[in-house]
A and B are shown apart, each in its own frame.
Chain A
Amino acid sequence: MLNAKNQQPEPKSRAENRRPSRTARYFPCRVHNSSFIILRSSFIIHFISLVSCLFLLLCFAMPAFAQQPTADDINAVASNLTCPTCTGINVAECPTETCVQWRAKIGEMLAQGYSQPEILDYFAARYGDHVLQVPPARGFFQWLWLLPTAATVLGLALLAYLVRSWSRQPAPAPLEGEDQVVEDEYLQRVEQDLEGWTE
């Protein structure tokens, strides 16, 4: 009945299999217990257990998404990438097949514990800098930021200089009031009244 062609494949993660609480999975209590038992056997086993203990501690310190990332987690990363096949749409919003695959890849990498910058670097290294929403600030790309900043600062400096050099000359005519140009008689009266009101 409903056309299967229009369906967008499911994003990798589901709302319902969100990661269980980290503490339940990685609480190092049991590890300590076992290592305590092994302590009495050989040194090598002791060493191995220490390493595994450290490894598990490392897992504990891993980013929050070390389990199943949600669609929102994936979109947060994907919104920094640009769809490679269409124009100007970021990967989080893009419905094309490529972007669906990219989002799946991002999900995988998040699940493996990669951080957002690492994932972005991975895509940039693999497909080129133009898949990023904003090019990295190195090499020629620095000009993207430098030129507008320089132009604005220069413009401000030039303007400040001009205004200063102009306004240093003495005013040729009396200021405000008499010489004020007004649009019609009425407005002039309003302006005059305003003078009185504000003083």
Chain B
Amino acid sequence: MARSLVAITPAWPGAVAAALVLLLTLGTLAAVAWRAEWQGGLAAADWAAIRFTVSQALVSAALSVLLAIPVARALARRRFVGRKLLITLLGAPFLLPVIVAVLGLLAVFGRGGILNSALTGLGFEPISIFGFHGVVLAHVFFNLPLAIRLILQGWLAIPAERFRLAATLNASVWRMLEWPMLRAVAPSAFLVIFLICLTSFAVALTLGGGPRATTVELAIYQALRFDFDLGRAALLACIQFGLCVLAAFVAWRISIIDAMGAGLDRVVQRWDLRWPALDYAMIAAAALFLLVPLAMVVLRGLPGLMDLPPSIWDAALRSVLVATGSAILCVAMALALSLHGGALVAIIGVLPLAASGLVVGTGAFLIVFPFIRPADVALIVTMLVNAVLALPFALRAIAPAVAAVSEDFGRLALSLRLTGWSWLRIVVIPRIRRPLGFAAGLAAALSMGDLGVITLFAGEAQETLPFAMYRLMGAYRMEAAASAALVLLALSLSLFWICDRGGRTDADL
């Protein structure tokens, strides 16, 4: 490669961003490792938490992938009105606050939900959503769309010529083309989802609990929040970190949200299409499973919207402020790291994938606790942690765009003395507005819906909207919780839409 004489931007912003990421990932890890009480070993309850964490993730991932296969197959080979919209919607759960989805699921499968009303009406015993199957249900709800997208990608990657060849040979498309593709794609989809399910605290918090349905992260929360047993919380955090490292390694290699559905609107011409009704039934069932809970949130939330207590609106304001700050910080860090470039930056950029919010939160708690009342810094810490955890996704959008701008215009800018701040202001930012807006929207929505680190720190005066909603659910104020969920959903999607839209409007490239 050609050696460059000068850097177009200074190195310090990238260094500052890298330092912040390292502090919040490795720094907090060091704090938990240092405070962990190893000598006591693992209690029976800890082993139970590990077993539950792994087994629910295994079952959730297996179910998600198995159910996704027929839906993806149907989507790959049928053309119908609304197909594109449906595929776009399959990307939405990434932006959906977990607690909103949980509330929707409760409205369908919960004690007073549609399903149980029907069952008791027919004279059956009602079912309970809490515990193992509730956690699995929520995980399937969240990850079925992801599994469908990943497997659909596999289906659409089969070249059209192969289908023609199979048709002329009168060979079985399933045996010749589809089964080999699934054997390659399904295991990686399974792995990604397994690893996501290892680290989804909010689902376990709302639907799990008790000795038989506690995940490691939930155990951390309980040790810290109820027992104030810092040594045990730190030990559990180390265990969770071990699980997460595995997660990061694989998640890094397999893309989760790439391009938000680009290229998935292709339909290959095929000659083996019998049973259209079966395909459409699969698609309809999946759509119902995903859309009815969300519709229930809207239906149940609307009536009480005007009667929400003022504390909820305060919490909403806090959430918007945290999400905005987190998005700005996240995008600034992603930009600084992208401008810096290099292999070290790439590694730092994916480090947060290995970090569980709860582990980082526990570490941060241990660091600030001797000096400040944790509740006083709850919002700042939440903002920082959210920004860092969203960084890998922001980088994936921003880094290639910045690299392309440098490649196309770096030399021209250098020869015009267009360096440093001018380069950023006049060239880079205008040219990467789209990925910048998308990344900011993603970071804002993720932060808006986050119910992780905040639970370790906040008192009532620092509640964010998801946390306030969680407390309403805990107090069985389901009407108010549904209205709060509607507000949360609307705010999350609006924040994403505003940012993403801002990047697209008037962006002539």
Q: Verify that A and B bind, or say they do not.
A: no
